[in-house]
Amino acid sequence: MNIEKLAARLETILDKKNIKINEPMSKHTTFRVGGNAKVLVLPSSIKEMMSVIELLKQENIDYIVIGNGSNLIVSDEGYDGVIIKTSKLNSIKVYGNIIEADCGAFISSISKIALENHLSGIECLSGIPGTIGGAVTMNAGAYNVEIKDVIYYTYVLNESGKIVKMTKDDLMLSYRKSILQNSNNILLSAALMLKPDCHEAIHSKMIEIQSKRVSTQPLNYPNAGSIFKRISGQPVGAIIENAGLKNTAIGGAKVSEKHANFIINTGNATAADIINLIKFVKKTVKNKANIDLETEVKIIY
């Protein structure tokens, strides 16, 4: 199906303004790099997203679902398919100690609502610049807390196009992994089970976490958070620093001086700069420390 015909079909499902043709992915990733997606769509409801996915499957068109693009690198060549961005699917509801959120809801927004309702459990995650959909899919974590610690249940669009309820056990959550990765199962919404606590204690913890992030992470530059997964017993940032790689740069991509497990876009980086720097860091650490680093960020070619 050519792009004009595809756009016409998509317009039967979505508002025209929510269909972007040849959309620069640098606008949709926190690294601020990446070539064009052939088409990017922004569904306004779960029903719309399901209808889009059904159409794309019928036409055998490749697609990827993204949240905030905060753990993502899109190559400079872009993506020859459809990107489904969930940012408009951001409903958040509170039922006692349970918060239900659609896949595009920001972790920061959920944390704010938890605070307003005196609910504790996600303070350590409050600074993650992503959505609940991405957080559950990769079992995101920070400061010794992971999303699996608070997940109660989820609703998932399975490979057959059916909505199924999945518990924490069903999701098979482990360090930066879930059953949703490398599959056609798509998280639609998630419910978090939190605990009542006083507003002051929750707020104080959130301020403490934000202070830690500001002091240890290069938040003033575009980045995608931790580049490499944790290695048991060894801080990855220290491993990279000990290999003499702090401040190493390729083009506009640079290993952060503040935290060596962060790569930053100093202003004019390309996706190739970042990808090549990741490869260089991995190779150097392997040669100097005999350690195999595994990337945490997802790369789309």
Residue 198 has a CB neighbour count (10 Å cut-off) of: 10
Is-contact 193 98, C-beta < 8 A? yes
Q: Is 176 a catalytic residue?
A: yes
Active-site residue flag, 296: yes
- Annotated active-site residue in 26, 75, 226, 256: 226
Quick one: angle between helices 3-10 and 46-58, nearest 10? 150
Closest CA to 136 of 113, 114, 163, 105: 105
Q: What tokens appear for 276 in the block?
A: 């090549």
Residue 12: how many CB atoms within 10 A of its CB?
Answer: 8
Rounded CA gap, 7 and 63, in Å?
Answer: 14
Q: Considering the candidates 176, 178, 189, 256, report the single residue annotated as catalytic.
A: 176
Please check whether residue 199 is in contact with residue 222, taking contact to mean a CB–CB distance below 8 angstroms.
Answer: no
Instruction: Report the distance separating Cα 157 and Cα 287, nearest Å.
Output: 43
Which one of 23, 48, 100, 296 is the catalytic residue? 296
Cβ atoms of 219 and 210 within 8 Å: the answer is: no
* Residue 22 host element (H or E): strand 19-24
Dist CA 1 CA 60 (whole Å): 9
Helix (H, G, I), strand (E, B) or coil at 159: coil
Helices (H) and strands (E) in the chain, counts: 8, 18
Rounded Cα distance, 179 and 127, in Å? 24
- Is 226 one of the catalytic residues? yes
Q: Which residues are part of the catalytic machinery? A: 176, 226, 296
